[in-house]
Amino acid sequence: MKKVMVEMSGGVDSSTAAAILIDRGFDVCGVTFCTTPGTTGGKSARDAELVADRLRIPHQTVDLSDIFERAVIRDFISEYKSGRTPNPCAVCNRHIKFGTPLFKIAAELGCEYIATGHYAVTDGGELRRGADARKDQSYFLYPILAAPIEKILFPLGAMTKSETRALARKLNIPTADRGESQDICFVPGTDYARFLRSRGVGAAAISGNIVDTDGNILGTHTGIHNYTVGQRKGLGALGKPMYVKHIIPAENTVVVAEDSQIISNEAEIEDVVVSKAKGINVNGRYAAQIRYKSSPVGATVVEVAGCINRGGGINNDAGTAGGVAIRIKFDEPVRAVSPGQAAVLYDGDTVVAGGTIRR
- Residues annotated as catalytic (active site), given as ranges: 92, 185
By 3-state DSSP, what share of the chain in percent is helix, strand and coil, each rounded to 5? 30, 30, 45
Rounded to whole angstroms, the Cα distance separating 180 from 172 reads 18
d(CA 22, CA 67): 30
CA atoms within 13 A on the CB side of 210: 24
CA 113, 106, 159, 287 dihedral sign is negative
Check if the beta carbon of residue 77 is closer than 8 Å to that of residue 69: no
Residue 310: is it exposed, middle or buried by C-beta count within 10 angstroms (0-12/13-18/19+)? exposed
Report how far residue 203's alpha carbon sits from residue 46's, in angstroms, rounded to the nearest whole number.
34
205 in Cβ contact with 193 (< 8 Å): no
Strand partners, 60: 31
